[in-house]
Structure 1
Amino acid sequence: MLKDMLTISELIICLCLRCQGFQNKLIISTYGTIKELNLQNGEELELQTDLQSFIYSVDYDYRNGYLYFSRYTKNDIQRFRYPPGQMTDLVPVTFASRPVGLVIDPLYNHVYWTERSTGKLCRCNLDGSLKSVILQDDPLFALTFDYRNRWLYYSTDNTKKSIRRLKLNDSENQTIINVHSELVTGMSIGNDKDRLYWMEFNNGFLKSSTLNGSSVMTVLNTNTNNKNQDIHVFRGNVYCANGNSLLNVTPGVSAHVIYNNTGIIYSVFIHDENHETRTYT
């Protein structure tokens, strides 16, 4: 019987840059750089360089073909065309105060982001217009979006850290999980099983719960401290930025190192080439 919790030291960790049948592209950020990784053929492509900032979050506007990202130390949000073509120039979207988490709302064409320094959860249109504050809370960090049920999930960075959620168009706000001293640096929704996944920065635990915060499980112990960053769930697998490495975790089954980088990986996102077949209703 498989254990609910997998430990990296108990697994055969394989470095597999060529994953057969993997058709989608991984987007990662390091300090000042955004890269595209093709795990099918091992190719790397630098999409943007010299960004001069930590980039804790990226997301994609599939309808218009823009990749959005937050620049923490430059206090702004920017975008550029993706997949790369002739036009890859950066386009400023809006100013923000220490922006961390960022998500796109594909139904209403909004950008949402968290501000660590102000404790604000903000929103604007995709072009940066009509900026507004929709929530004032403790210092905020990670952010993810359950677009089916219209909940924004965010983590707080105070003495009693927690995961909370805000119902859009309703303003209902709930604390669903208390993580105490652990900073949640990455969150993502697994729509196949309707579970919330998150990464704890200090102890390296990847955990999950139902969308209302019940049935909490530890999925993986990375056995690393103070290096664990963003995560992204895609087709039942959880991709984790773990220091200089990128992990592919199949909950309850396996965990593999699929990429090693020279510097720390801060954010991870999978560009789904078949996304156009999906709906948001």
Structure 2
Amino acid sequence: MGCATTPKVTSPCISTEFECKDRMTCVHKAWVCDGDRDCPDGGDEAPEICRGNITCRADQFQCKDHSCIPGALYCNGDKDCPDGSDEFNCTRPKPVCDKKTEFDCGGGMCIPLSKVCDKKPDCPNFEDEPRDKCGENECEKNNGGCTQRCVDTPVGYYCDCDKGYKLTDNRTCEDIDECADPGACSQMCINEKGTFKCECHAGYARDPRDRTRCKATEGHPSLLFARRFDIRKISLDHHEMVAIVNDTKSATALDYVFRTGMIFWSDVTDEKIYKAPIDEGTQRTVVIGDQLITSDGLAVDWIYNHLYWTDTGKNHIELSDLQGNMRKILIRDKLEEPRAIALNPLDGWMYWTDWGQVPKIERAGLDGSHRQTIVSYDVKWPNGLTLDLVRKRVYWVDAKMNTISSCNYDGSARRVILYSTDVLRHPFSITTFEDWVYWTDWDKTAVYRANKFNGKDVEAITSTHTLQNPMVIHVYHPYRQPDGVNHCAAVNGHCSHLCLPAPRIGPHSPRVSCACPNGLRLLPDNQMCVEDSVPETPKTGTGISSSGRDAGVVAGIVVAVISGVIILAALIAVLMYRHYVHRNVTSMNFDNPVYRKTTEDQFALEKNGYAPGSKLYPSTVGEEVRALTAMECTLNIQNSLR
């Protein structure tokens, strides 16, 4: 206000998106006036925009308050609409009588078994008083044909099974596989005849109050989460909250290395990535300070010591070491709006979400290889992503579908854990530990938790509508980053620059692969990196390849040594043998004894901070041509002297 000129306002949204009133959130235009409040303030459903013409998709049910829910939830016995209108005027199926306590008179009428064969008709057509069946015990003959238990009733009988078994054809009992229920055990489930038992992984022990649950044997878990203007920590033992990093402009994504106590976070306003000790948040340093736009997702490889992040502005996934050096763009194709990212360096995989026009969840090796889509349907706005390293599953929240879902690492065995238009108004990030999932919600401005197997026992960890701008969240505990073998530790995996873990496709898969930072390319030996702007030029004869910079060094040395002594004789010799040389010299066949040393010296210079394009070696095409011309002149002189 009061400015001479109105500053130009640039929208953060692209042409296919709707900009919310907070000027930060962008939603797909197809989501405007669809009955779901996708903007934090619900501005995409404002009456002045929609004018009452709110319609749901063909696969949805429209509640009386105009909100939309999945059609499969209509008349399912649960009130899924905020006003419960999905359960109004539902046609109930005919009741089925409980054969253990009731008698079926037919037509949907059930009476207690105590009224059968009491010589008083209770069914309309005397079905409860059959003359030839009252008082007969059918179980006395061949156990009624039941494989386990036969239960006699006043009229007839029924077969039943012992605990741990179930009926398959009203007579035969078979063992129940309790382990088919994902939540039967916290971790490992072993099915046995008529029963089952639970086991825990190393570092966990069975809870004495419930032998099916596993608890961590050490450490005190906490929650770390960004809150735009600071980063906070909540103890899960007594819910004490403290700020560990203050005065951030717009802290969004974060991760940590438990072994060193270092936290990393992105600031989308500064367009930088920082790090600081978790107990000294004021001692922050810049890790990535340039060529970064919007990093909504960030993850640390705690075994191989690399930092991975998504950039929604540039639509790629990039990595560096933990100091911000050796940067490499790993994934750049077919990415629209990459957001959350999670790593599993134990198996060499990374996973990320993409909430673009074609929303999906993908995975690839930590070296960028073997990329594949694992979730491609029933996903709209996958904001948060986390890995359960114990159960080997992926969990994600969808802010458009109002769901928490999970699947195996390869996308199989997918399940919806929780659907709620109430507590999942606008979930942004998710993490998991032991039997729980934790998530942040923009609309509720709070942190919640629920059972990770069935979505039950939903509980707010913080007070609702008091925790402004909750962003990415992580459980802070050593078991979230289990120890593993760093196969690059020995001589950097024989790589000149980046040594990255390779995905474990099979038992004989390579453990690591070499990669080059931006601006360098990998030689055919798949170990050494050279400058990408100067391609190699193969020479004939000895089979040794020499680049333009090597030829320039050799040419300079030779010319400097012989120019003062033989220049006059060389000119005369050139005139005498010019025709002979022109006809017979067709290629540069020479041995280069300093090639390997020069390459090693170059690598040493690059490693110590000297730019590959320095004047020690030719760095442009023009310099390379001049170097090759000097070499050819030298060879002509040498041939003429011979």
TM-score class, shorter: 0.7 to 0.9
SS of match in other structure, 2:314: coil
Unaligned runs of 5+ in 2: 1-77, 83-217, 486-642
The reply to whether residue 41 of structure 1 matches residue 238 of structure 2 is yes
Shift of 1:41: 3.0
Q: Which residue of 1 aligns with 2:483?
A: 279
Shift of 1:64: 2.3
The reply to whether residue 264 of structure 1 matches residue 469 of structure 2 is yes
| Equivalent runs, 1:227-238 vs 2, <5 Å | 227-238=426-437
| Equivalent runs, 1:69-88 vs 2, <5 Å | 69-82=265-278, 84-85=279-280, 88=282
- For residues 179 and 100 of structure 1, the distance between their equivalents in structure 2, rounded to whole angstroms, comes to 23
SS of match in other structure, 2:376: strand
Q: Which residue of 1 aligns with 2:391?
A: 193
Q: 1:140 aligns with which of 331, 338, 350?
A: 338
Q: 1:32 aligns with which of 229, 233, 251?
A: 229
SS of match in other structure, 1:99: coil
Amino acid across the alignment from 1:128: G
Q: 1:241 aligns with which of 413, 417, 440?
A: 440
Shift of 1:274: 6.0
Change in 2 beyond 3 A, CA 1:172/1:239: same
| Equivalent runs, 1:1-281 vs 2, <5 Å | 23-55=220-252, 57-82=253-278, 84-85=279-280, 88-95=282-289, 96-136=292-332, 137-169=335-367, 171-179=369-377, 182-224=380-422, 227-243=426-442, 244-250=445-451, 251-252=453-454, 253-260=456-463, 261-272=466-477, 278-281=482-485
Change in 2 beyond 3 A, CA 1:249/1:212: same
User: In the TM superposition, what whole-angstrom CA distance separates every residue of 1:222-250 from its partner, at most 9, and x where no partner exists?
Assistant: 32466211001112321111231211121
Q: TM-score, normalised by structure 2?
A: 0.39
Change in 2 beyond 3 A, CA 1:189/1:92: same
Aligned residue pair count: 262
Shift of 1:98: 0.4
Shift of 1:139: 2.5
Change in 2 beyond 3 A, CA 1:168/1:41: closer
State the Cα RMSD in Å.
Answer: 2.6
- For residues 120 and 65 of structure 1, the distance between their equivalents in structure 2, rounded to whole angstroms, comes to 28
Amino acid across the alignment from 1:280: G
Greater percentage in helix: 2
Shift of 1:54: 4.4
**Percent of aligned positions with the same letter in both sequences?**
19
SS of match in other structure, 1:166: strand
Q: TM-score, normalised by structure 1?
A: 0.85
Change in 2 beyond 3 A, CA 1:115/1:280: same
SS of match in other structure, 2:469: coil
Greater percentage in strand: 1
Amino acid across the alignment from 2:249: Q
Does the 8 A contact of 2:272 with 2:287 survive in 1? Answer: yes
- For residues 123 and 33 of structure 1, the distance between their equivalents in structure 2, rounded to whole angstroms, comes to 24
Does the 8 A contact of 1:27 with 1:271 survive in 2? Answer: yes
Moved over 3 A (4+): 273-276
SS of match in other structure, 1:50: strand
Amino acid across the alignment from 2:458: A
Question: Which one scores higher on RCO, CA 8 angstroms, separation ≥ 6?
Answer: 1
Greater shift in the superposed pair: 218-227 or 116-125: 218-227
Greater shift in the superposed pair: 256-265 or 70-79: 256-265
Does the 8 A contact of 2:336 with 2:355 survive in 1? Answer: yes
SS of match in other structure, 1:103: strand
Change in 2 beyond 3 A, CA 1:274/1:187: closer
Shift of 1:120: 0.9
SS of match in other structure, 1:186: strand
- For residues 129 and 226 of structure 1, the distance between their equivalents in structure 2, rounded to whole angstroms, comes to 39
Does the 8 A contact of 1:159 with 1:180 survive in 2? Answer: no
- For residues 373 and 479 of structure 2, the distance between their equivalents in structure 1, rounded to whole angstroms, comes to 34
- For residues 99 and 121 of structure 1, the distance between their equivalents in structure 2, rounded to whole angstroms, comes to 9
Q: Which structure is larger by alpha-carbon Rg, 1 or 2?
A: 2
Change in 2 beyond 3 A, CA 1:242/1:170: closer
Does the 8 A contact of 1:190 with 1:234 survive in 2? Answer: yes
Shift of 1:30: 1.3
Does the 8 A contact of 1:201 with 1:227 survive in 2? Answer: yes
